[in-house]
Structure 1
């Protein structure tokens, strides 16, 4: 599609597609975190955002300004995607902030709103991260990364290896932890919230507050796992996404 997005299931039969799903990864994450999903969606096209500074875009500088990143992603979507087709937005953790900002841009443009939005492991935009780590020294930051369990242990335990990834991880965590919405602008799409039943990084109240950010229906589901349940219980996340899309497309 573009350098900002990769279509996972390129071999999908276009005639069978009922919807398109844009996926926005968590801090430090990229397309590879969702690559195994491609075999689970027979009639939903998967378009995963690849932020600069990782995987096949490793040579590019990571972006620590959410406005710059969102502008770049939205420009690519406008150039490459037909918004008249049914589509959904999914984001996990940091990705939920990006989803909200992109959905606002879509709402305030001439394009059709998403048929639905899936908020996975993300507190409502009004809440700022209460225990940020992006400003800590390297040792403190790395310990904070261990708490989130989103970065492989073999990378965290290898000083030479983690030093390569630190700039990108810090940039992502600046976006994730420094973000706070103060305008309370509502979206015009139904929202499904997903939260790990053992998540200690956020509260259920912070998830439920998303109901104040939409003019449509808000529902939520618990998923087995901690904050990174998207990695540890992907089959449950996929099941909820499929059901949400099928309900909205019927």
Structure 2
């Protein structure tokens, strides 16, 4: 058993029945607690391992990172001790982008990939974003945009003290996405499943289908009722779908 649990992965230690780790990457502004319910809903054979990014929750005293390459570099370094057993990736919105580039970097450095990749609520990486640049807006305009996105509770938006704590983290996360530059590379050889919200007006159906270009293996797209944060409303359905996929026998990750 691995003797330490890096702060990036507060729940990565193997259980006695664990057969696969599921690394879960949160959306912008979110922390590991986004997946707090998931640990109870997956069978013990699937170990849910939320990713805790700097600047939130148990890492609140750390400065958030605003560059995707910096996040990926740190993640790959910290993840290396866990790669000798099978693992899968799930990411929602910004988390899907981080998970994708982490998977690509893992393959470049170690020739190892997730047994399955789940992307949720995010356009394919090569699709140019049509969204406005938000991370440099003045505070009042930034808050207006957060209201439109509907991802930040109103009680937080109305609390000036809380917003002074939350805004730097949100700005850094938006910068991660808004400064991202896609570089073409060979598609992943692992299967990809994509989840989308039927009322998610920020992520088009075409941009979800476009994830198919990033795998040379199987691809599936599944839609759920809801807006960009359908992840919470449809948690049970999403988890059930993932359990069906991950419960089939998997080959162990192997270094070459």
TM band (smaller chain): over 0.9
Change (3 A) 1:199 1:228: same
Question: What residue is the counterpart of 2:130 in the other structure?
Answer: 130
Find the residue that maps to 2:28 and give its secondary structure. Answer: coil
Question: What residue is the counterpart of 2:37 in the other structure?
Answer: 36
Structure 1 Cα separation of the partners of residues 58 and 90 of structure 2: 22
Change (3 A) 1:40 1:163: same
CA displacement, residues 80-118 of structure 1 (integer Å, 9 cap, x when unaligned): 31x231110010000111111111111112342111100
Which one is further off, 65-74 or 239-248? 239-248
In the alignment, structure 1 residue 214 sits paired with structure 2 residue 218: no
Contact 1:126 1:184 in 2 (8 A): no
Question: What residue is the counterpart of 1:63 in the other structure?
Answer: 65
In the alignment, structure 1 residue 54 sits paired with structure 2 residue 56: yes
Contact 2:15 2:47 in 1 (8 A): no
Which one is further off, 127-136 or 23-32? 127-136
**TM-score where L is the length of structure 2:** 0.90
Aligned residue pairs, count: 245
**TM-score where L is the length of structure 1:** 0.92
Root-mean-square deviation over aligned CA pairs: 1.7
Within 5 Å, which residues of 2 pair with 1:1-250? 1-7=5-11, 13-14=15-16, 16-42=17-43, 43-78=45-80, 80-81=81-82, 83-132=83-132, 133-247=134-248, 249=250
CA displacement, residues 130-158 of structure 1 (integer Å, 9 cap, x when unaligned): 12322221111112112222222211111
Q: Give the deviation of 1:194 after TM superposition.
A: 0.2
Structure 2 Cα separation of the partners of residues 192 and 30 of structure 1: 22
Q: Give the deviation of 1:235 after TM superposition.
A: 1.0
Contact 1:26 1:91 in 2 (8 A): yes
Which one is further off, 119-128 or 130-139? 130-139
Contact 1:84 1:112 in 2 (8 A): no
Which one is further off, 158-167 or 59-68? 158-167
5+ long unaligned stretches in structure 1: none
